[in-house]
Amino acid sequence: MTEQFPVLKNDLFLRACNGEDVERVPVWIMRQAGRYLPEFKSVRADSDFFKVCQTPELACTVTIQPILRFPLDAAIIFSDILVIPQAMGLEVQMIPGKGPHFPDPIKTIDDLKRVQFPISVQEKLGYVFDAITLTRHKLEGKVPLIGFTGAPWTLFTYCIEGGGGTDLKESKLWLLQHPQESHKFLQKLTDVAVDYLCGQIKAGAQAAQVFDSWSGELSPQMFDEFCLPYLIQISRRVKEVYPNVPLICFPKGSNFALKKLAEQSSYNVLGVDWTISPEAAREMVGLKVTLQGNLDPITLYAGKDIIHKQVETMIKGFGTKRYIANLGHGMQPQMTPEMAEYFVSSVHQISEDLIKH
């Protein structure tokens, strides 16, 4: 039986994904749920990070926290990209102040035997699907709900490095020295990501984003071999099942790839970071896809006048058509809710003025 969800009242984000007209630019913020919100910290005070992910009521509560505070145009389900390696049998801990940690990462080809595949995403990640269904109800149609997955290469780096914040030496050596084994592992991660996104959409996600947070560490040639084919594959396979659900790809740092992604993949939206100008990004993709981004997150520490000016320059650069405003990466724990709110309302005010005049 398909669920009956509350009627959507704000479809600006979905319209922008699909290239339809908007009366103002929609905005959401990567990592909009998180430790910069006192109400998030208070939930986390009683529960381990992955317990929040695994308990639908808690995941739903923290997903909705930023929606209650700010006039955002989309919610993103609270979870983590690393639930996929966990579901494939690898242990992942979240260490306060340090980030994700794999006590027993994949070091040798023999270690790949510890990776469970194929898996039933329903059995292993059903808690995310439950959180999505619950959140769709609790959002009461205020804004659409975005699901997400980590991209194969980004997940691969965590499984092999055992955490973040490295130069990715071990993962890159895998690509260089064991290309065939690397491709096999990337293909498994791709298959799981496809099932996982389809499960999220079935459960109620109204759009889905693929985070390739570490793609920018690869040379264009390595990107073309180890990222691009899998990113394209994910978009095509999910679209075969759900042709009308907007898909977003955020290949952080790989702005050189925008043209190929726009031409060869089935993503409706491409995310960009701040290392490319809005004009250059638009020039690469034209109006074929929607662009999302790209304010340097550090701007949120610079004060209101500066945020306002930077947002104005950004929106004028991208244009108000086929554009979703966001930061070029996530919110940081030291940022203030006040500045997040100011960013969101600046986007609304400036874009509304631009569209009217």
Instruction: List active site positions.
Output: 31, 35, 44, 80, 158
d(CA 313, CA 290): 18
34 scored as a contact of ligand CP3 (CB under 6 A): yes
Sign of the CA dihedral running 31, 35, 38, 41: positive
134 scored as a contact of ligand CP3 (CB under 6 A): no
Task: Give me the least distance between CB of 192 and ligand CP3, in Å please.
Answer: 16
Answer for the pair 194, 266: CB distance below 8 angstroms, yes or no. no
**Which one of residues 36, 102, 148, 318 is an interface residue with ligand CP3 (CB under 6 A)?**
148
d(CA 303, CA 296): 13
82 scored as a contact of ligand CP3 (CB under 6 A): yes
Which residue lies nearer to ligand CP3 by CB, 180 or 334?
Answer: 334
Cis before 294? omega within 30: yes
Q: What are the residues facing 149 on neighbouring strands?
A: 210
Contact positions with ligand CP3 (CB under 6 A) in 157-196: 164
**Checking DSSP bridges between strand 269-272 and strand 290-295, what pairing results, if any?**
parallel
**Which one of residues 19, 71, 99, 141 is an interface residue with ligand CP3 (CB under 6 A)?**
99
The two three-digit tokens of residue 186, written as one number: 């990337």
d(CA 220, CA 260): 11
**Which one of residues 22, 24, 26, 31 is an interface residue with ligand CP3 (CB under 6 A)?**
31
Which residue lies nearer to ligand CP3 by CB, 189 or 350?
Answer: 189
Residue type for 137, please?
A: H
Which residue lies nearer to ligand CP3 by CB, 213 or 320?
Answer: 213
102 scored as a contact of ligand CP3 (CB under 6 A): no
**Checking DSSP bridges between strand 269-272 and strand 247-251, what pairing results, if any?**
parallel
213 scored as a contact of ligand CP3 (CB under 6 A): yes
Q: Which stretch binds ligand CP3 (CB under 6 A): 18-26, 77-85, 257-265, 341-349?
A: 77-85
- What is the helix (H) or strand (E) element at residue 324, kind and residue range? strand 323-327
Answer for the pair 59, 131: CB distance below 8 angstroms, yes or no. yes
100 scored as a contact of ligand CP3 (CB under 6 A): yes
Which residue lies nearer to ligand CP3 by CB, 31 or 348?
Answer: 31
Answer for the pair 92, 143: CB distance below 8 angstroms, yes or no. no
Q: What are the residues facing 210 on neighbouring strands?
A: 149, 249
Residue type for 214, please?
A: W
44 scored as a contact of ligand CP3 (CB under 6 A): yes
**Which one of residues 35, 101, 137, 309 is an interface residue with ligand CP3 (CB under 6 A)?**
35
Answer for the pair 157, 171: CB distance below 8 angstroms, yes or no. yes
Which residue lies nearer to ligand CP3 by CB, 229 or 330?
Answer: 330
Q: Which stretch binds ligand CP3 (CB under 6 A): 31-39, 132-140, 316-324, 342-350?
A: 31-39
Residue type for 221, please?
A: Q
Contact positions with ligand CP3 (CB under 6 A) in 246-275: none
Task: Give me the least distance between CB of 348 and ligand CP3, in Å please.
Answer: 20
Q: Return the closest-CA partner of residue 272 out of 259, 263, 264.
A: 259
330 scored as a contact of ligand CP3 (CB under 6 A): yes
- If one counts every other C-beta atom within 10 angstroms of the C-beta of residue 200, the result is 29
Q: Which stretch binds ligand CP3 (CB under 6 A): 26-34, 181-189, 200-208, 265-273?
A: 26-34
135 scored as a contact of ligand CP3 (CB under 6 A): no
337 scored as a contact of ligand CP3 (CB under 6 A): no
Work out the burial of residue 219: count CB atoms within 10 Å of its CB; fewer than 13 is exposed, 13-18 middle, 19 or more buried: exposed
Answer for the pair 337, 330: CB distance below 8 angstroms, yes or no. no
226 scored as a contact of ligand CP3 (CB under 6 A): no
Site size with ligand CP3, rule: CB under 6 A: 22
Find the residue with minimal CB distance to ligand CP3: 213
- Give the residues lining the site for ligand CP3 (CB under 6 A): 30-35, 44, 49, 76, 78, 80-82, 94, 96, 99-100, 148, 164, 211, 213, 330
